[in-house]
Each structure stands twice: as C-alpha cells, then as structure tokens.
C-alpha cells in the first residue's frame, strides 16, 4: 500500500453543541478509491465536511503530510481537495459552462483549463449539449455529472464524493460509477466516497472504512469486508 494522501486521527466534529464524530481515525491512500460506509447518522457526511473545514472540529487532519485542520474551507480547496457535497451544490442560476468555469476558479493556467473543458465534455457528453443551459434545468443525474465535472476542474489530488447515487435511477447510477472508475484511472485523482448503496461502493472501492455513531469500527480492503458475512449483516444490511 502506498503512502497515505490523507490521514485523519482522533477527529471530533460538532454541529453547534452536538458532537457527531468521536475520535474518528482513517486514512485515504494515494491514487485509490476509498469508501466510507455505515448506517444513517453514523457521521459519514460529517466526516467529509470536517475534512473541508465546514464544521467545527478537534483532532488531527493531514493532507500530504501537512495539517489542514482549522483552515478555512476555501483554503483547503486551494490545497487540492475538491468536494462534491450532498445535494450536489449546483449553482442553479448559472449556466452549465459557468459552473465548470467556477470549478477552475483558483487555476491561473487558462490554456490547460480549456483543454480540461473538452476532457469534461468527453466524460459527460450530455453536459456539452446543455452547456448554455441554466444548471437548474438539468435532471438530477446531469446535475450529479456537473458536480463531478466542476470538482474535477479544480485538478484536485483528492476528490470527496457525498452520495453520488442519491435520488438517481439505477441506470444513471451505474453510468456515473463507471465514469468514476475511469476518472480515478485516468486523472490521477484519489477518491473518498460516502455511499448509502454499500454493494455498489464495495464494488468500486479498494479500501473501505466502516463508521458507526461517529467512530470507525472497521477498516480493510473492500473484498475482505464484502466477504465477511458477519460484518455485512451487522453494519451494511446486505
């Protein structure tokens, strides 16, 4: 296993006075796909938000060896972490193309940005057809594609995905997951994935961490988790 890209240790996270994560610890290796799984309310989304400085945290978060805990969200994004939030975070009143342009906001190399546009349209041809359309008029699946495209325009080293399958038809979900595999392979970007759909996630991810009530209860290679009857029954309802 290569060196960890992101290391989280002893992480507490709070919404106001309510503590949601209790001493959470896990790593995301360089260049792989890692899944955070667990029941509703386990703190999966909060873990992603904590990494991006969107909630109050305590503990140690290191990205490429440098501590990023306590930094502002925008500064963390500038370090190369892109986050596709739950609800997709689309700029509904802007056009598809403007949404993608915003993804590349922090980049100053306009030439590579324009080739990246073409690459995104290559992954998601449907976005190209609709690029002058208001993003709010897109379907759920298209908005999810747009959100992933927007995140990739940052040229991130780490991509955080919060429930990309949420509310989408199975066919669309399969399409998006295929593209994610391709992206992970071709873009040299590591992915940390939060998913309700455990079966799909276990299929895609190399490594899996299981969360329950704000703690990591198990970490391991995805096929180990997949093949462990007891774990599947206890935590994943499979």
Partner 1 sequence: MDALLHQVFSGLATGGIYASVALALVMIYNATNHINFAQGEMAMFATYVAWSLIEGGLPYWAAFSVTVGLAFLGGVVLERVVIRPVENAPGLSAVIVSIGILVIFNSLAGWWFSYTTRSFPSPFPDSRPFGSSLLSYHELGSMGVTLAMLVAIYSFFRFTSLGLAMRAAAQNPVSSRLVGIRVGWMLALGWGLAAAIGAVAGMMVAPIVFLDPNMMGGILVYAFAAALLGGINNPWGAVVGGFIIGVLENLAGAYVVGTELKLTVALVAIIGTLVVKPDGLLGKTVVSRV
Binding of partner 1 at residue 45 (CB under 8 A)? Answer: no
Tokens 């403007």 appear where?
98
Among 44, 54, 73, 33, smallest CA distance to 158 is for 33
CA distance 155 to 157: 7
Binding of partner 1 at residue 52 (CB under 8 A)? Answer: yes
Contacts of 96 (CB under 8 A, 6+ apart): 127, 130, 131, 132, 133, 135, 138, 146
Please, what is the minimum distance in Å from the beta carbon of residue 84 to partner 1? 8
Q: How far is CA 209 from CA 170, 180, 194, 217, in A?
A: 24, 19, 10, 8
Please, what is the minimum distance in Å from the beta carbon of residue 98 to partner 1? 6
Binding of partner 1 at residue 3 (CB under 8 A)? Answer: no
How do 158-162 and 18-29 pair as beta strands?
unpaired
Q: Single out the residue of 103, 141, 149, 164 in contact with partner 1 (rule: CB under 8 A).
A: 103
Q: Single out the residue of 50, 138, 154, 236 in contact with partner 1 (rule: CB under 8 A).
A: 154
Q: Single out the residue of 34, 45, 46, 90 in contact with partner 1 (rule: CB under 8 A).
A: 90
Q: Single out the residue of 14, 30, 56, 102 in contact with partner 1 (rule: CB under 8 A).
A: 102
Q: Single out the residue of 29, 39, 54, 217 in contact with partner 1 (rule: CB under 8 A).
A: 54
Q: Single out the residue of 9, 15, 73, 238 in contact with partner 1 (rule: CB under 8 A).
A: 73
Q: Single out the residue of 9, 15, 70, 92 in contact with partner 1 (rule: CB under 8 A).
A: 92
Binding of partner 1 at residue 218 (CB under 8 A)? Answer: no
- The helix, strand and coil proportions of the chain, stated in percent and rounded to the nearest 5, come to 40, 30, 30
CA distance 38 to 44: 7
Token duo for residue 229: 């009857």
Binding of partner 1 at residue 106 (CB under 8 A)? Answer: yes
Which residues sit at the interface with partner 1, rule CB under 8 A? 52, 54, 72-74, 77-78, 82-83, 85, 89-94, 98, 101-103, 105-106, 150, 154
């Amino acid at each position: 296993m290569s060196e960890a890209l992101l290391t989280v240790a002893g992480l507490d996270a709070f919404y106001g006075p309510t503590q949601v994560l209790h001493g959470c610890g896990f790593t995301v290796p360089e260049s792989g796909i890692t899944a955070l799984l667990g029941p509703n309310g386990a703190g999966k989304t909060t873990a992603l938000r904590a990494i991006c400085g969107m909630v109050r945290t305590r503990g140690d978060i290191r990205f490429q060896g440098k501590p990023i805990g306590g930094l502002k969200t925008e500064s963390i994004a500038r370090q190369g972490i892109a986050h596709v939030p739950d609800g997709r975070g689309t700029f509904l009143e802007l056009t598809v193309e403007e949404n993608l342009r915003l993804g590349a906001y922090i980049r100053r190399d306009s030439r590579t940005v324009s080739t990246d546009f073409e690459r995104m349209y290559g992954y998601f041809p449907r976005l190209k057809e609709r690029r002058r359309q208001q993003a709010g008029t897109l379907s759920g699946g298209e908005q999810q594609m747009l959100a992933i495209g927007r995140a990739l325009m940052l040229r991130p080293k780490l991509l955080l995905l919060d429930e990309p399958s949420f509310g989408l038809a199975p066919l669309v979900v399969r399409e998006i997951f295929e593209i994610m595999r391709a992206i992970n392979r071709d873009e040299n970007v590591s992915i940390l994935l939060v998913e309700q759909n455990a079966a799909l996630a276990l299929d895609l991810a190399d490594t899996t961490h299981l969360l329950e009530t704000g703690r990591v209860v198990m970490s391991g290679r995805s096929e180990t988790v997949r093949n462990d009857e007891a774990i599947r029954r206890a935590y994943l309802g499979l």
